[in-house]
């Protein structure tokens, strides 16, 4: 009898460990991403949050003219900046990005697909991918590197990932769902 009860105890213990593991996985999958501060690497860009105090800084971050109306994401290729424009009367969130080597043409697009976490076209793990365009056979979208770095892309490779800081990637993921409008300006 002792041998039989030890087998039952072992089975129950294994089931309990599996249940705890499953619940931990579910909790981690639904929890917001924890962001460690990555050390600045040579050749990387330090993002800003558009929170300049001087009047000149605020003007620099003004929403571009002719960038559409209504709720939308605005991406200014030339200034390497994105605005998340919400309801009328609310100040848009803005931040810098690192453009990909393949750029979308100016115009209006719609978010066509999203991925929580994948490997980018440059071979690095990325998260919160929001795709909205294709150009020269390359999918173009916003994303953040899981390691938090923001290096300039390799100019010899065709990549479509417009990279941003992880916190900005979280904001983009929440804001730009399937069907959301994306306006690209020069």
> 171: Cβ–Cβ under 8 A, 6 or more apart, which residues?
84, 93, 95
- pLDDT tens-place string over residues 5-19: 555 655 554 444 444
And the tokens for 35? 């962001």
The radius of gyration computed from the CA coordinates of the chain, to the nearest angstrom, equals 21
Distance, CA of 80 to CA of 75 (rounded, Å)? 8
DSSP β-ladder status, 72-76 and 81-85: antiparallel
Strand segments, DSSP code E, in the chain are 72-76, 81-85, 93-96, 107-110, 113-119, 125-135, 138-145, 161-163, 181-185
Distance, CA of 147 to CA of 50 (rounded, Å)? 22
> Mean of the pLDDT values across residues 97-119?
96
Q: What is the pLDDT of residue 68?
A: 92
Q: What is the pLDDT of residue 3?
A: 54
C-alpha dist (Å) from residue 184 to 64, 113, 143: 10, 17, 16
Q: What is the pLDDT of residue 160?
A: 93
26, pLDDT greater than 70: no
Contact indicator for 94, 82 with CB cutoff of 8 Å: yes
Q: What is the pLDDT of residue 9?
A: 52
49, pLDDT greater than 60: no
- pLDDT tens-place string over residues 146-178: 999 999 999 999 999 999 999 999 999 999 999
48, pLDDT greater than 70: no
- pLDDT tens-place string over residues 57-95: 444 589 998 899 999 999 999 999 999 999 877 899 999
């Amino acid at each position: 009898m002792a041998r039989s009860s030890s087998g039952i105890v072992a089975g129950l213990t294994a089931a309990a460990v599996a249940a705890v593991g499953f619940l931990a996985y579910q909790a981690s999958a639904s929890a917001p991403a924890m962001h460690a501060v990555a050390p600045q690497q040579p050749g990387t860009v330090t993002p800003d949050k558009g929170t300049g105090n001087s009047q000149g800084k605020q003007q620099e971050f003004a929403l571009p003219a002719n960038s559409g109306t209504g709720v939308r994401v605005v991406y200014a290729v030339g200034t390497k900046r994105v605005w998340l424009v919400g309801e009328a009367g609310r100040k848009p969130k803005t931040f810098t990005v690192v453009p990909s080597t393949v750029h979308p043409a100016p115009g209006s697009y719609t978010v066509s697909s999203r991925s929580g976490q994948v490997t980018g076209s440059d071979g690095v793990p990325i998260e919160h991918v929001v795709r909205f365009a294709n150009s020269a056979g390359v999918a173009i979208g916003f994303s953040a590197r899981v390691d938090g770095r923001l290096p300039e892309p390799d100019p010899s490779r065709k990549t479509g990932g417009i990279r941003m800081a992880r916190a900005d990637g979280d904001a983009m993921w929440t804001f730009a769902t399937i069907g959301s409008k994306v306006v690209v300006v020069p």
